[in-house]
């Protein structure tokens, strides 16, 4: 394990003004989203869509890394160029999802434990040769009557920690993703309590396994009301609850925090990330870690809806992806505004990346 290399990679993933593009949907999940959008569920359609994503002009100005699925990290685009090479040329680090999915937890109806540890050392060595600099593993925690159980929290926390240790052994930065689901009618307070329990267990297991905190990224859920909760907290309340929970349970040494979107709309995810970064600026003491994004649905969905499997919509879809990346980029400085949904002015962007400021930049 090369600690310095791990820390350098982890810090580059949360570098100023940048976040991650999660495009690691497994084939069944990708097919499900394609089916919902009326797109054929074929390898060619998946290739065309992922090629569209990784070749979006200007993406590297706001995106530090892209999380890929096994199919994509080995795949060439329609011009015979590896997707990984496209990303590297755009200044985006390739990463890989390595868990094999959430499976029913024995004796605990309604709960899951994420699998994928068997053979992981060899798979990581293979992925490193294919260019992966970081990896992702998602543990899933459902809220409900009597849920989550300690069995579920501990099983997922231990798997996350064992995965993280194997990644660091291979000089691959682990993204540790314990997701408390939005599904249900629970309150924000209940989500906060469950998220606190989960984070406490995860960092306890990470310490037990000897995982280096400056060489990992935490990918948590935001603290939110359940989707079916009649009350929905304001942006400020979500930001306050989320930051309080993180400050209490995430050690200061962690390299960065990159939120998942979890099924929020694209606009809400940007607005909530923005509210957190506003509060971070006014906190009496600076937060010890950057708060960035690692969205899948909240950054891809508008592009997927526009593309519709039709090559003639490709540019429009790329513009939609870049638009979301720019909105989230602004949210990292607390400078996202709903008016940006109509038009993003590159000169007004907080970090003003040189390439985006060029007049006539495609997609703006």
Site for ligand 13P in 169-188 (CB under 6 A): 177
CB of 248 to ligand 13P, least distance (A): 23
Asked if residue 138 binds ligand 13P (CB under 6 A), the reply is yes
Q: Which of 297, 314, 323, 329 binds ligand 13P (CB under 6 A)?
A: 297
Closest to 176 in 3D by CA, of 135, 127, 119: 135
Confirm whether 219 is a catalytic residue. Answer: yes
Q: Which of 7, 9, 13, 24 binds ligand 13P (CB under 6 A)?
A: 24
Q: Choose one: 120-128, 234-242, 277-285, 289-297; the region binding ligand 13P (CB under 6 A).
A: 289-297
Q: Determine contact, residues 128/74, Cβ cutoff 8 Å.
A: no
CB of 219 to ligand 13P, least distance (A): 6
Task: Considering the candidates 111, 177, 179, 319, report the single residue annotated as catalytic.
Answer: 177
Angle between the 188-208 and 150-169 helix axes, to the nearest 10 degrees? Answer: 50
Q: Which is nearer to ligand 13P, 166 or 176 (CB)?
A: 176
Q: Which of 7, 14, 22, 194 binds ligand 13P (CB under 6 A)?
A: 22
Max CA distance (Å), the chain: 60
Q: Determine contact, residues 69/24, Cβ cutoff 8 Å.
A: yes
CB of 227 to ligand 13P, least distance (A): 13
Q: How far apart are CA 134 and CA 136, in angstroms?
A: 7
Phi, psi (degrees; rounded to nearest 5) at 160: -60, -40
The pattern of x and - marking residues 215 through 244 that bind ligand 13P according to CB under 6 A reads: ------------------------------
Is 340 strand, coil or helix? helix
Asked if residue 298 binds ligand 13P (CB under 6 A), the reply is yes
Task: Considering the candidates 25, 51, 219, 319, report the single residue annotated as catalytic.
Answer: 219
CA distances, 61 to each of 43, 92, 104 (Å): 29, 9, 40
CB of 221 to ligand 13P, least distance (A): 8
Asked if residue 67 binds ligand 13P (CB under 6 A), the reply is yes
Per the structure block, which two tokens stand in for 62?
């706001």
Q: Determine contact, residues 297/22, Cβ cutoff 8 Å.
A: no
CB of 8 to ligand 13P, least distance (A): 23
CA distances, 118 to each of 67, 99, 106, 184 (Å): 21, 10, 18, 32
Asked if residue 292 binds ligand 13P (CB under 6 A), the reply is no
Q: Choose one: 186-194, 236-244, 256-264, 313-321; the region binding ligand 13P (CB under 6 A).
A: 256-264
Confirm whether 177 is a catalytic residue. Answer: yes
Q: Which is nearer to ligand 13P, 56 or 364 (CB)?
A: 56
Per the DSSP assignment, residues forming a β-bridge with 67 are: 22, 95
Q: Which is nearer to ligand 13P, 166 or 269 (CB)?
A: 269
CB of 315 to ligand 13P, least distance (A): 24
CA angle at residue 14 from 12 to 16, to 5 degrees? Answer: 90
Q: Choose one: 57-65, 184-192, 294-302, 334-342; the region binding ligand 13P (CB under 6 A).
A: 294-302
What's the gap between Cα 268 and its chain centre? 15
Q: Which is nearer to ligand 13P, 46 or 138 (CB)?
A: 138
Q: How far apart are CA 63 and CA 25, in angstroms?
A: 18
Closest to 19 in 3D by CA, of 307, 319, 328: 328
Q: What HEC string does 65-111 produce?
A: EEEECHHHHCCECCCCCEHHHHHHHCCCEEEEECCCCEEECCCCCCC
Q: Which is nearer to ligand 13P, 295 or 336 (CB)?
A: 295
Q: Which is nearer to ligand 13P, 138 or 323 (CB)?
A: 138
Is 253 strand, coil or helix? coil
Active site residues: 177, 219
List interacting residues with ligand 13P (CB under 6 A): 22, 24, 67, 136, 138, 177, 260-262, 295-298
């Amino acid at each position: 394990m090369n600690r310095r290399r791990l820390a350098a990679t982890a810090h580059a993933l949360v570098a100023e003004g940048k976040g991650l593009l999660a495009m690691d949907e497994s084939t069944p999940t990708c097919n499900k989203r394609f089916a919902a959008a009326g797109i054929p569920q074929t390898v060619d359609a998946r290739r065309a869509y992922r090629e569209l994503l990784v070749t979006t002009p200007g993406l590297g100005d706001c995106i530090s890394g892209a999380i890929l699925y096994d199919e994509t990290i080995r795949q060439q685009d329609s011009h015979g160029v590896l997707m990984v090479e496209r990303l590297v040329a755009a200044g985006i680090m390739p990463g890989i999802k390595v868990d094999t999915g959430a499976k029913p937890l024995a004796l605990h109806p309604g709960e899951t434990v994420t699998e994928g540890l068997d053979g992981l050392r060899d798979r990581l060595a293979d992925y490193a040769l294919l260019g992966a600099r970081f990896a992702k593993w998602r543990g899933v925690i459902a809220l409900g009557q009597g849920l989550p159980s300690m069995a579920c929290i501990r099983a997922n926390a231990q798997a996350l920690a064992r995965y993280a240790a194997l990644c660091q052994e291979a000089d691959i930065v682990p993204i540790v993703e314990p997701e408390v689901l939005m599904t249900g009618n629970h309150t924000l307070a209940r989500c906060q309590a469950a998220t606190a329990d989960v984070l406490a267990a995860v960092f306890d297991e990470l310490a037990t396994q000897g995982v280096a905190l400056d060489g990992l990224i935490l990918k948590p859920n935001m603290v939110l009301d359940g989707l079916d909760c009649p009350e929905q907290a304001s942006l400020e309340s979500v930001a306050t609850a989320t930051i309080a929970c993180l400050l209490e349970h995430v050690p200061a040494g962690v390299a960065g925090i990159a939120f998942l979107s979890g099924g929020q709309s694209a606009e809400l995810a940007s607005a909530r990330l923005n509210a957190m970064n506003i509060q971070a600026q006014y906190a009496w003491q600076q937060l010890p870690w950057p708060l960035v994004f690692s969205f899948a649905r909240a950054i891809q969905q508008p592009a997927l809806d526009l593309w519709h499997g039709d090559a003639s919509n490709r540019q429009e879809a790329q513009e939609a992806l870049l638009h979301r990346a720019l909105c989230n980029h602004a949210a990292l400085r607390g400078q996202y505004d709903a008016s940006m949904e109509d038009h993003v002015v590159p000169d007004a962007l907080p970090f003003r990346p040189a390439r985006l400021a060029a007049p006539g930049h495609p997609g703006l």
